[in-house]
Structure 1
Amino acid sequence: MTDASRFPALNLAVAMAIAGTVGAFVTEAGVDPVTTVFWRCLFGALFLGAWCLLRGYLPDSSLSWSRLGRAALCGVCMVLSWTAFFAGFAMTSIAVMTIVYHIQPFFVVLIGVLFLKERITADQVAWMLAAFFGVVLASGLVVSDNPVTTTWMVGIAMALGGAFLYAVVTILAKGLGEQRPEVTVLVQTAVGVIMLAPFANFSDPIALTSWGWLVGIGVLHTGIAYVMMFSSYPRLTTPVIGVLTFVYPVVAIIIDWAVYGHPIGIAQGLGMVLIAVATLGVRLGWRLPVRRGSAAFAGQK
C-alpha cells in the first residue's frame, strides 16, 4: 500500500481503481450474489480483524452498546446493498450498474429532507433532476441500440435499491462519532457473515479459480481498498475526494468495454456524464448560474 500520509491523493486514487474492478471479480467468480457477499464478508472480516488488532484499534473503548447496535444496523443495510449491486451485474452490465449505483449521494439528500427535516436548495433540486434524467438515459430506457428487457430493468432497479441502502448506511454512520471506520466495517462484515450464513449456497462445489476471486473481493476490495480510503480521507479536501471518487466508475467502464466487450452507446454515455456531473455538483456544492432577468425579477419582489 502507498503511504497515505505522504501521497493521500495517490492512495485514494489507487483504492478507487481497485474498487472499480469488483464487478470483474464478481463476474469471474461465477457464484450467486448471496454466496458471493457471504464470502466477501467472511474474508473481509478476517482481514480487518487482523488489521485492527495489529494497529491497536481493538479493543475499541469508543464502541458502546448503542454504537455497536447502530454499526450492526449499518451492516444489515450494507450487506443488502452489496447483494443487490452484485445481482445486477448479470442483468445489465458492469458499467451501467456501477454508474447508476453511484447516485447514492442524491438519496442521502432525499433522506435528509424527508426524515431529518434538512433543508434543500434549488441547486440541489436541479442537480437531482439532472441525475434522474441521467439514470433514464444510462438505463437505455429511452434510447438504446438493443431492446430493453424486463431483466435489464430489474437490474437497474437493483442498482437503485442498492444505492438507496448505501445512502441509509451513510446516514446511520454519521451517528458513530469518533469510532474508527475500520472497526465499523469489521462489525458490518461480521454481521454479514451471521446474516447470510443461512442463505449462502454451501452445497455446490466452488472451483479453485473462483476461490481466488472470492478471496480477492474480501481481502482486496473490502479490506485493503477500504483501509486505503479511510487513511486518505482525513488528509484530503472535499473537492479532491469528490473528483477522485469517479476513478471507480471510470475503471469499471473501461474493464466492461475492454474485457467483456460492452461498448457504451451515445445516449448511455451522455447519461453517465450527467450523473457524474450532477453528483459532483451535489458533493461540491456547485451553484447553477442564474439568469439576470430572473435575478432582477426576484429583486423586485
Structure 2
Amino acid sequence: MKTTLPIRFPAGRLALAMAVIGTVGAFATEAGLDPITTVFWRCVFGTLFLAAWCLLCGYLPHRGLSPAHLGLAALGGVCMVLSWTAFFAGFTMTSIATTTIVYHIQPFFVVLIGVTVLKERITLDQIVWMVTAFVGVALASGLVLSSRPVSMTWVLGIVLTLGAALLYAVATILAKGLGEQRPEVTTLCQTIVGVGLLAPFADLSRSVPLASWGWLAGIGILHTGVAYVLMYSAYPRLATPVIGVLTFIYPLVAILIDWFFYSHSLGVTQSAGMILIAFGTLGVRLGWHLPLRRPSPV
C-alpha cells in the first residue's frame, strides 16, 4: 500500500505558490503573443510537466478515470481554458493589477452558482460579505469614481475578467464531482483539452520570437505545474483561515510587479476596492458573523 510522505512547511509551500502565480501577468505580457496563443502554449508546456509529474509520482495510470470522470474533467477543462484566455485578454485591455484584483471575485460566483443552480442555502452574513465584495469590484475596476476617463477597451477588459472568474467558478464546481481524483490529474486533463481546443485558433503560423519561449515555458511549467503542485500538497494540511490569508499574496505580488515594472499604480478608489474584496472574501471563507448580532437559538 502506498503511503503518503509527510509534507514539511505547508504554509511556506502555499505562500511560495501564491507568489509564483502572482507573476503570471508579467510572464504573459513579456511573452508578447495574443491571449489565445499564449494559453495554447501554456497548455502544451503544462501538459508536458504534469504528465511527467503524475507518472513519476504514480498517479497514472489512474483506475478512477472512468468515461464519466473523463467527460466531467474535459468539460471543466473547457471552462478553465476559456477562463485563462479571458484572464490574459484582461491584462492587455486594463492592467495586471486591475485584472488580478477583479478576478478574485471568483469565490462569490461559486457561492452564487451553489445558491441558484444547486439550491444551496445562503446566510445573511454571506449575503452581506458578497455585497461588500461586489462593491469592491466596482471600485477596483476603475469604472466608478475614477479620476481618469474610461475607454471601451477598459470596460471590455473588465467584462472579460468577470467572465474569466465565472468560468473558473464553474470549473471549480465541476471538479468537485470528480471525488477523490488527484487534482494534478484533473489539471492534466484540463491542459490536454486546452491543447486540442485552442490549436485551431492559436497563431501557429507565425514564428515565435526566441525571447518569448522562456516566458511561455514559465507560464506552463511554473504557473501551471510547479505552483499547482505546491498548492495541492499544502491545502489538505492547512486550516481554512491560513489558506484564506495566504491566498492574498497572489494579488499583492501582482500589484507590486505592475507598479514596479510597468508603472501602473493603484489609485485610492481601486485600493479601497481591493480592501473590500479582501474583507468580503475572508468573511465568506472564514464564516465571519456580522457584529452586534445575537446568535440564533439552538
Answer yes or no: same fold by TM over 0.5: yes
User: Where does residue 64 of structure 1 map in the other structure?
Assistant: 66
- 1:240 is matched with which residue: 235, 239, 242? 242
Is contact 1:81–1:166 with CA below 8 Å preserved after alignment? yes
C-alpha deviation, 1:4, in angstroms: 7.5
- 1:199 is matched with which residue: 191, 198, 201? 201
User: Where does residue 6 of structure 1 map in the other structure?
Assistant: 8
- 2:35 is matched with which residue: 33, 36, 50? 33
Distance 2:252 2:55 in 1: 34
C-alpha deviation, 1:145, in angstroms: 2.7
Distance 2:274 2:157 in 1: 16
TM alignment of 1:112-127, pairs within 5 A = 112-127=114-129
1:253-286 deviations in Å (ceiling 9; x for gaps):
0000011000110001000110111011111111
Is contact 1:13–1:244 with CA below 8 Å preserved after alignment? yes
C-alpha deviation, 1:112, in angstroms: 0.5
What percent of counterpart residues are identical? 70
Figure out how many residues of one structure are paired with residues of the other and give that number: 293
Most deviating of 138-147 and 214-223: 138-147
Code of the aligned partner of 1:88: G
1:226-261 deviations in Å (ceiling 9; x for gaps):
011001111111111111111100100000001100
TM-score by length of 2: 0.96
1:249 aligns with 2:251: yes
- 2:221 is matched with which residue: 219, 222, 234? 219
User: Where does residue 22 of structure 2 map in the other structure?
Assistant: 20
TM-score by length of 1: 0.95
1:65-107 deviations in Å (ceiling 9; x for gaps):
1111100101000000000000010110100100110110100
- 2:105 is matched with which residue: 103, 107, 121? 103
Structure 1 outlier segments of 4+, above 2 Å: none
Is contact 1:38–1:192 with CA below 8 Å preserved after alignment? yes
Is contact 1:4–1:231 with CA below 8 Å preserved after alignment? no
- 1:94 is matched with which residue: 93, 96, 117? 96
Distance 1:284 1:53 in 2: 36
Distance 1:134 1:58 in 2: 42
CA distance 1:82–1:233, change in 2 (3 Å): same
**C-alpha RMSD of matched pairs (Å):** 1.5
User: Where does residue 50 of structure 1 map in the other structure?
Assistant: 52
Distance 2:97 2:167 in 1: 20
User: Where does residue 172 of structure 1 map in the other structure?
Assistant: 174
1:193-247 deviations in Å (ceiling 9; x for gaps):
0000000001221111111100000001000000110011111111111111111
1:190 aligns with 2:199: no
SS at match of 2:177: helix
- 1:159 is matched with which residue: 152, 158, 161? 161
C-alpha deviation, 1:290, in angstroms: 3.1
CA distance 1:197–1:105, change in 2 (3 Å): same
Unaligned runs of 5+ in 1: none
Is contact 1:4–1:232 with CA below 8 Å preserved after alignment? no
SS at match of 2:148: coil
Distance 1:222 1:110 in 2: 27
Distance 2:61 2:138 in 1: 47
C-alpha deviation, 1:141, in angstroms: 1.6
CA distance 1:17–1:4, change in 2 (3 Å): farther
Distance 1:257 1:150 in 2: 23
